[in-house]
């Protein structure tokens, strides 16, 4: 797929591994201008990890881009580790990375689960946030998790059937619990097929039009295991969010400017959620892309995201 509206491929100018609590070690990298305006990229999932294409949303001549893989995801270690893996801990991991890199304040850029984590971090540390660029908003509410597990059947009955039929008929009344049991099984012959089934389901539902490349990327063993196991773990624990949810903490960041980009036909995170967030955020600008689903790499979404980042650049 041509991606001429993104910036050219770029290699990191610095990479490293940052020890965290327990057994966890965070992979991080910086790209772009070492003296530029700081921006933090937050990947989705939870558990999906970041990739080289994510560097391309930012003008490397202007931005100092920090990218990291969250606990248990991507190049962080151990892969798929659930111990000491919660939203408040991830928020403090971000603070640890900010201090390590010597950054005072930064722009947050995150989509899907990355938007959830961006909001959680911003509400915990509003003094460190210049603004937010969010895509395919996910607030982690029970209704949103229920939609992913069961509601998508209304639009993607074939993909949902493949997802559900990985389990015995008698276990399909509790998809989350049954999948989590398999995903946490130590035997790769048990957890890898379950991870692939979960991840391919998500990949099949992520784009407006069928995208074999997207599904193939979701189906890779390392991507699938981190995404499925950690996602199921977070879903089973209410995303480790406070009782009032993220909308209950919006008063803490009411002063923070935000750009929200949402695909009109996003089936993973339907537009209602982005609208609810925009209505609760006085300084948010909502852009609905008329011909897009969930993926950040769909043409209209990536164009809107680059434009949103550029508007923050002009703010100075």
- CATH number for the domain harbouring residue 114: 3.40.50.1820
Task: State the pLDDT at residue 1.
Answer: 36
Task: Point out which residues pair with 111 in neighbouring strands.
Answer: 135
Query: Do 88 and 158 reside in the same domain of the chain?
Result: no
For residue range 205-250, list pLDDT tens digits in order: 999 988 888 777 777 777 899 999 999 999 999 999 999 999 999 9
3-state secondary structure of 191: helix
Query: Do 83 and 222 reside in the same domain of the chain?
Result: no
- CA angle at 52 for the pair 69 and 296, rounded to the nearest 5°: 85
Q: Which two tokens stand for residue 70?
A: 């969250």
Query: Do 131 and 249 reside in the same domain of the chain?
Result: yes
Active-site annotation holds for 266: yes
For residue range 89-138, list pLDDT tens digits in order: 999 999 999 999 999 999 999 999 999 999 999 999 999 999 999 999 99
Closest by CA position to 267, among listed 113, 154, 183: 154
Q: Tell me: pLDDT of 28 over 80.
A: yes
Q: Tell me: pLDDT of 177 over 80.
A: yes
Q: Tell me: pLDDT of 4 over 60.
A: no
Query: Do 67 and 187 reside in the same domain of the chain?
Result: no
Closest by CA position to 236, among listed 113, 120, 149: 149
- Domains in the chain, number: 2
**Average model confidence (pLDDT) across the chain:** 95
Task: State the pLDDT at residue 218.
Answer: 76
CB 71 within 8 A of CB 26: yes
54, 166, 233, 294: the active-site residue: 294
Query: Do 130 and 154 reside in the same domain of the chain?
Result: no
In this prediction, residues 31-52 reach a mean pLDDT of 97
76, 112, 199, 295: the active-site residue: 112
The predicted model scores a pTM of 0.96
Note down the domain range covering 161: 143-239
> What's the pLDDT band for 316 if we cut at 50, 70, 90?
low
In this prediction, residues 291-309 reach a mean pLDDT of 96
DSSP 7: P
Residue that finishes a domain, picked among 193, 211, 239: 239
Render 31-99 in DSSP notation, one character per residue.
EE-TTSEEEEEE--TTTT---GGGGGGS-TTTEEEEEEPPTTSTTSBSTT--TT--HHHHHHHHHHHHH
Active-site annotation holds for 294: yes
Active-site annotation holds for 24: no
Helix, strand, coil share of the chain (percent; to 5): 45, 15, 35
Query: Do 128 and 23 reside in the same domain of the chain?
Result: yes
For residue range 140-165, list pLDDT tens digits in order: 999 999 999 999 999 999 999 999 99
Query: Do 199 and 305 reside in the same domain of the chain?
Result: no
Query: Do 55 and 172 reside in the same domain of the chain?
Result: no
Dist CA 225 CA 187 (whole Å) = 12
């Amino acid at each position: 797929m041509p991606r001429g509206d993104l910036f050219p491929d770029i290699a990191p100018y610095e990479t490293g591994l940052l020890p965290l609590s327990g057994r966890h070690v965070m992979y991080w990298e910086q790209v772009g201008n070492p003296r530029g305006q700081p921006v933090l990229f937050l990947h989705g999932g939870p558990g999906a990890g970041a990739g080289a294409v994510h560097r391309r949303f930012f003008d490397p001549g202007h931005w100092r881009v920090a990218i990291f893989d969250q606990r248990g995801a991507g190049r962080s270690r151990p892969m798929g580790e659930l111990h000491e893996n919660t939203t408040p801990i991830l928020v403090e991991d971000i603070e640890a990375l900010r201090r390590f890199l010597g950054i005072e304040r930064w722009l947050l850029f995150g989509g899907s689960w990355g938007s959830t984590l961006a909001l959680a971090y911003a509400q915990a540390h509003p003094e460190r946030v210049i603004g937010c660029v969010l895509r395919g908003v996910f607030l982690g509410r029970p209704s949103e998790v229920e939609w992913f597990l069961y509601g998508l059947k209304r639009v993607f009955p074939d993909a949902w059937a493949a997802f559900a039929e990985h389990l015995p008929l008698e276990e399909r009344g509790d998809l989350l619990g049954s999948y989590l049991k398999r995903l946490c099984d130590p035997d790769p012959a048990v957890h890898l097929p379950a991870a692939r089934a979960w991840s391919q389901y998500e990949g099949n539902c992520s784009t407006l039009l069928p995208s074999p490349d997207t599904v193939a990327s979701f189906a890779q063993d390392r991507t699938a295991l981190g995404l499925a196991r950690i996602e199921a773990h977070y879903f089973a624990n209410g995303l480790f969010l406070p009782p009032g949810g993220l909308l209950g903490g919006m008063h803490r960041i009411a002063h923070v400017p935000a750009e929200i980009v949402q695909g009109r036909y996003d089936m993973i995170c339907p537009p209602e959620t982005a609208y609810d967030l925009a209505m609760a955020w006085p300084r948010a600008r909502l852009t609905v892309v008329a011909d897009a689903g969930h993926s950040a790499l769909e043409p209209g979404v990536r164009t809107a995201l680059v434009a949103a980042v550029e508007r923050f650049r002009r703010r100075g």
